[in-house]
Amino acid sequence: SDWGSGFVANVTITNRSASAWNGWTLAWTFPGTQRIANLWNGVVSQAGQAVTVRNAPYNGQVSPGASISLGFQSTYSGANPRPTMFTVNGAVCQ
C-alpha cells in the first residue's frame, strides 16, 4: 500500500535450490529516495539506496521448496519507482 510519502511492502522468498539455506541475505537497490523505516522478520541495513536484509535469528533455516515472508514500511519523497533486481544469497531472483 502506498499513501504518497510512504508505503508498506510484503516480500516472500522461496528456496528453489536443492539444498537447505543456513541463513539468507536479500539485497536490492532502490532507484529513488526510499528509506526503510521499519522491517519485520529480518535484520536490515541501508546505505544510501542499497538495501541488505539478513535473516532474523529464528528464520535462517529454509528447506528446499519452503518460503519465508518479511515486510517493511518505507518513506520517500517525490516518485516511488520500483527496484528492478533483487538477489538472494548473491543469486539474481527470478
Reported as a single tens digit per residue, the pLDDT across 36-49 is: 999 999 999 999 99
User: What Rg do the C-alpha atoms of the chain give, in angstroms?
Assistant: 14
pLDDT band at 94 (very low <50, low <70, confident <90, very high): confident
**What CA–CA distances, in Å, run from 2 to 7, 30, 33, 73?**
4, 15, 14, 10
- 34 Cα distance to chain centroid: 13
Reported as a single tens digit per residue, the pLDDT across 5-56 is: 999 999 999 999 999 999 999 999 999 999 999 999 999 999 999 999 999 9
